[in-house]
Structure 1
Amino acid sequence: MAAAEWWHEHACLDGCELSEFLYVRGGLGDVDSPDVRRRTALLMDRCRTWDTSETADVPDTVHLAGQVRELAWTLGHALRRTLDGRTMACFIFPAGNSVTSGWQPVSLPASDIEAELYFLRAARELTAFWRGLYERENVPEHLFPVLAADAFPGLVLADTLSFRKFDGTYRELRGWVAKVLTVLDDHFADALERPRSTQSRPSRAGPLRNRPVAREPKHPRQGKGNAAARCGARRSDLPLRVAREAAPSTEPRALHAA
């Protein structure tokens, strides 16, 4: 994470810069908890800072979602780094900013140069950024589980899980597998613990966060008809049914066999 070296001069309230808000006692920052302000200040101090000399030709004016943004060196810096192959996310501040969260096009005026940057307001929105990197940065197979720790924080992938056990190449499967894991990470635990009918009892499995979602069985049965066992899927078809809700119509056959 990096911040402009002049971040503390950014106005967060009318007539109040961030430095005053975070560090000055008896000022406008007293409306918030001292602990929150202290933690925010510590986190900002740990950020690497950059200036306009770090990246060549950092523009000060860009178009964000079709709107002109002047004196926007931070957006210009993020755009340049994204064009160089390092996709960037930008934290929206202050909260009342009109920029919409998610992927937004950013371009240079009077130019065809354009790239999408990710904008977020809260930490919970960061997972969508990591998930989007699989296709945007063409993440290779050996780095798929490494990125998964941030992209799917509620899941623990089994060490034996491999794309080689699926029908199709890694590039063919990568996007679809990321969508399936997204649905599992966002909905599987709630779906499994939800009663299947008004008469049924809630699941006694307990909290499922951070439990492995794929585990190699001790005695997997061999044969082409048992793709679920070979891929380390659970016996229950619930995660597969949850995943199918968001899966495209052309899903690989080996992934949904049960």
Structure 2
Amino acid sequence: MSNRKNWILSIIGVVIVGAFLFPVYWMIITAFKTQTEIFQTPPTFFPKEFQLDSFITVIQGDVGQYFLNSVIISSLATILVLVLSVPSAYGLARFRIKGVQSMLLVYLVTQMLPATVVLTPLFIVFNNLGLLNTYIAPVLATATLGVPFSVLLLRTFFIGIPKELEEAAKIDGCGRLRAFLQVIVPISLPSIVVCGAISFFFAWGDLIFSITFNRNQDLWPLTAGIFNAVGRYGIEWNNLMAFTTISVLPVIIIFVLLQKHLVEGLVSGSVK
């Protein structure tokens, strides 16, 4: 009976995973199809003949500049999120700060707000500071949503770290800052990697901030390039799917490389 239940649960799990992954599969195979085969009835679930013309067309276009912009924006936003959230979460976890519960409530509320709510205020602020049409505007905008999430996650982890570790480091001659950098940060590395990866993925997939704060298309990331390609090519689906496939490859590669750290960070945070 137990084996039968496991088989049923496994089949259900495979079906659910397949349902979620099917759009990704369809996106990839569409990139290798010809425009005629895409509209063929009934549809083909595997290309009759692979063609790379759509990838060549996209690569010969502006995808290189879009890709570079995405790397710059996502990397800077991730670094900013970690630099601000790691010490902030540690301070909220270790020090008695008046009004900390209200501060955490504000952080939590910011996670419930859609990006469109903060779009207009940020536009006004960036316009007054002269930050429009620069990399800085989308970096700061994505970081404003990434920092609260990272602080909430890391604070929970820091609370679970025994204070005796820091006290032992102080006995060995370490100050608080040195103990934080040499003891707490290495222990917390899996959770920090989780926060960094999520911040990177969020910045990589951002569209609304980039096209709102940057009118200069030379500064647009891949998501904005895909948005622009819809009108430019009159929705040539194989070119568009090739563009999209290229844009998601870095995310997949990063997830595969950091999978061990991501799982370890999430599990350790839940245990703590």
TM-score range, shorter chain: under 0.3
TM-score (norm 2): 0.24
Q: TM-score, normalised by structure 1?
A: 0.25
Structure 1 or 2: more helix by fraction: 2
Q: RCO (CA 8 Å, sep 6+): is it higher in 1 or 2?
A: 2
More strand by share: 1
